[in-house]
Chains A and B, each alone.
Chain A
């Protein structure tokens, strides 16, 4: 059972463009939603995270939008740069269950110069 569904699987965007990645979850007990960025040969690194009582969170060029009623959240990468080329994973956590991250399938983003 895939509890967090992520789309698209891959994305090509021109430098300066906007990358948009969408995730949907099923378990309403999830109460923390982080996004991770992974470069080849490296482990995932936390990019930005949001809690369901907030509809939007922005950190630099990265913004999370959260729709609790639709059980969906998305990552927007503004002014995409070649250095943003990586695989992005959304995740969900049920805090009372500790540090167990339930990941989406990942989106490979390629930013063309």
Chain B
């Protein structure tokens, strides 16, 4: 099976712009989670989607949003970009077949976002 794919791999934006990142999970996986990775804050959970519904949300401002489509593909959007949003954004999928519980998460290579 193909792994988790994320597009684009690299992105440069300026302050105030918005950005949309895309994630295609492993075929058959229904749960998609997003994480932000920075040198200062490490890996932080953004949100999780399962069957097109947000199931869990981390401590990020409302400028960070996401959605999941019926084919399990997911997008995350960041509006009004700030310099501090520069980070590696990672998507992870898992084969979870019900709304509760946890199982192995498979990470994509990430999208490197630079905000100038």
Contacts and interface: CB of A to CB of B under 8 A. Distances in A.
A44 B90 contact: yes
Nearest to A89: B43
B107 A99 contact: no
B102 A32 contact: yes
Contact of B102 (A45, A95, A105, A106): A95
Interface string A20-60: 00000000000010101000011111100100000000000
Interface residues of A, number: 24
Contacts of A104: 42
Contacts of B104: 34, 46, 49
B68 interface: no
Interface in B1-60: 4, 31, 33, 35, 42-45, 48, 50, 55-56, 58
The B contact surface, by secondary structure, is: strand
Interface string A74-113: 0000000000000001000101111111111110000000
A44 B42 CA distance: 12
Contacts of A46: 104-106
Contacts, number: 67
Given A89-B43, A99-B56, A101-B105, A43 B110 contact: yes
B101 A98 contact: yes
Contacts of B42: 89, 103-106
Contacts of B94: 99
Interface of B: 4, 31, 33, 35, 42-45, 48, 50, 55-56, 58, 90, 92, 94, 96, 99-110
Interface of A: 32, 34, 36, 41-46, 49, 89, 93, 95-106
28 contacts: A34-B104, A42-B109, A43-B92, A43-B110, A44-B90, A45-B106, A46-B104, A89-B42, A89-B43, A93-B102, A95-B100, A98-B31, A98-B99, A98-B102, A99-B31, A99-B92, A99-B96, A99-B105, A100-B33, A100-B45, A100-B48, A100-B58, A101-B33, A101-B105, A103-B44, A104-B42, A106-B42, A106-B43
